[in-house]
Amino acid sequence: MNNSTSDLLNRLSESATIAMARMARELKASGIDVISLSLGEPDFDTPDELKQAGIDAINANETHYTPVSGTVRVREAIAAKFMRDNGLNYTSDQIVVSSGAKQSLANVVLSLVNPGDEVILPAPYWVSYAEIIKVAGGVPVVLPTSIEDDYKIKPEALDDAINDKTRMVIYSSPCNPSGSVYTQSETSNLADVLRKHDNVYTISDEIYELINFTPRHASLAAEPGMMDRVITVNGVSKGFAMTGWRLGYIGAPKWIADACTKIQGQFTSAPCSIAQAAAAAAVEADPSISKPMVDAFLRRRDAMHASLSKIPGINLNIPMGAFYLFPDVSELFGKSFNGNTLNNSDDIAMFFMEEAHVATVSGEAFGTPECIRISYAASDEILEEASRRISVAVSKLL
């Protein structure tokens, strides 16, 4: 028997977010009281009216295969949402719905990236970007940022990184994991650079659009001349607390939407018909449907930021969106506990897991090894307890 897995699989790492969540679940099952702040998903339930749209779809027997790119209804609803919220004029044949934004991202990367092509990832970036690029045979090119820049890239750094091999740039705003939000003028400045490079496409991952504490969300594709160069990725997982429904989508130039439909037609076909109906209701709903959740996230951000900022060796930016804190913990590198030195953020994340029983995610997998990611999508009481435990654990370091 030849039990070896494929080269493609061997190139792939396990998702660090999912791995830490799994470890926390296992520790919990063994009786340890672990607080899991590792997985990024809202701790709220899907709003009732969106659940009802799914139930109505079942009762109306919308339980058959749909067109691969999604029903006309959901694609028209998404096109209307893009116009209403983002000023983007996509027609319904430029929309493709998929089984989560994760599949949307994979479709786009597999449609455009050839082996050896470079894909620029401003760091910190979401863990799965780098792995999806590797599946396509592409080469992730990491552009570092720092806490001083609020973890946002400067246009000059982007311009310097683009060369003849560059095929794509992928970034998210609001950003997972830093929570950074590009302002309108910062978005315009990035567009000024990207517009000069006809071979380069940009994925603007806007899945945290609704979890934004600034007054405005800026869409890159809305910048002059960018519609043909940008793929806008979004979905209902985060803004509507619908992670389990598995529904993401793109707005893209038609030839890219067609390419994604072709790939998806061979891998999964359309996403779940019931989830499509609920997603149509979500994007048609007044965006204020998410307000109670977003208000809670802002309150928790403030509380968690205040308590973690007091801990020596933990340095934070102020995230303006999403539901993560991304503290720089590099001042703790070199300290030791029970004779073991903590050398990097992997060690710090394991130390917090084992000593504080708080699950976080190391910044290594996000391309920013000075940091760890803490999701604050948990109740106020749990977050307070998590901060207390982290503080006690850090005080034990020598």
Q: Which residues bind ligand PMP (CB under 6 A)?
A: 40, 100-102, 126, 172, 176, 205, 207, 235, 237, 243, 248
Q: Does 172 bind ligand GLU (CB under 6 A)?
A: no
What's the closest the beta carbon of residue 236 comes to ligand PMP, in angstroms? Answer: 7
317 interface partner picked from ligand GLU, ligand PMP, none, CB below 5 to 8 A per type: none
Residue with the two structure tokens 């990184």: 161
CA nearest to 329, candidates 317, 319, 344:
344
What's the closest the beta carbon of residue 36 comes to ligand GLU, in angstroms? Answer: 11
Distances (CA, A) of 294 to 27, 74, 212, 239: 30, 24, 8, 8
202 interface partner picked from ligand PMP, ligand GLU, none, CB below 5 to 8 A per type: none
Residue, CB closest to ligand PMP = 100
Please spell the DSSP secondary structure of 2-16, one letter per residue.
--PPPHHHHHPPPPH
Q: Which is nearer to ligand PMP, 126 or 326 (CB)?
A: 126
What's the closest the beta carbon of residue 239 comes to ligand GLU, in angstroms? Answer: 13
Residue with the two structure tokens 């517009």: 195
CA nearest to 242, candidates 295, 168, 169, 293:
293
What's the closest the beta carbon of residue 176 comes to ligand PMP, in angstroms? Answer: 4
39 interface partner picked from ligand PMP, ligand GLU, none, CB below 5 to 8 A per type: ligand GLU
What's the closest the beta carbon of residue 265 comes to ligand GLU, in angstroms? Answer: 23
Site for ligand GLU in 97-136 (CB under 6 A): 102, 128
18 interface partner picked from ligand PMP, ligand GLU, none, CB below 5 to 8 A per type: ligand GLU
Q: Does 39 bind ligand GLU (CB under 6 A)?
A: yes
What's the closest the beta carbon of residue 192 comes to ligand GLU, in angstroms? Answer: 30
Residue with the two structure tokens 């609001």: 174
What's the closest the beta carbon of residue 198 comes to ligand PMP, in angstroms? Answer: 26
- Burial group, residue 307, by CB count within 10 angstroms (0-12, 13-18, 19+): middle
What's the closest the beta carbon of residue 246 comes to ligand GLU, in angstroms? Answer: 11
Binding piece for ligand GLU, criterion CB under 6 A, among 38-46, 214-222, 302-310, 342-350: 38-46
70 interface partner picked from ligand PMP, ligand GLU, none, CB below 5 to 8 A per type: none
Q: Which is nearer to ligand PMP, 356 or 374 (CB)?
A: 374
CB 245 within 8 A of CB 20: no
CB 111 within 8 A of CB 263: yes
Q: Does 15 bind ligand GLU (CB under 6 A)?
A: yes
Q: Does 71 bind ligand GLU (CB under 6 A)?
A: no
Buried b (16+ CB within 10 A) or exposed e, 189-226: bbbebbeebeebbbbbbbbbbbbbbeeebbbbbbbeeb
Strand partners, 234: 249
DSSP 154: -
Distances (CA, A) of 242 to 46, 62, 248, 274: 6, 19, 10, 12
CA nearest to 196, candidates 223, 217, 175, 172:
223
Q: Which is nearer to ligand GLU, 92 or 176 (CB)?
A: 176
Q: Does 345 bind ligand GLU (CB under 6 A)?
A: no
Rg from Cα positions in the chain: 21
Q: Where are the beta strands (DSSP E) in 173-311?
A: 201-205, 230-235, 248-251
257 interface partner picked from ligand PMP, ligand GLU, none, CB below 5 to 8 A per type: none
The correct pick among 36, 37, 40, 394 for binding ligand GLU (CB under 6 A) is 40
What's the closest the beta carbon of residue 206 comes to ligand GLU, in angstroms? Answer: 14
The correct pick among 104, 176, 232, 317 for binding ligand GLU (CB under 6 A) is 176
Q: Which is nearer to ligand PMP, 121 or 304 (CB)?
A: 121
DSSP 221: G
Q: Does 18 bind ligand GLU (CB under 6 A)?
A: yes
Q: Given 3-state DSSP classes, what are the helix, strand and coil percentages for the chain, each rounded to the nearest 5?
A: 45, 15, 40
Q: Would you state the structure tokens that stand for residue 368, as one six-digit string?
A: 């920013």
Interface residue list for ligand GLU (CB under 6 A): 15, 17-18, 39-41, 102, 128, 176
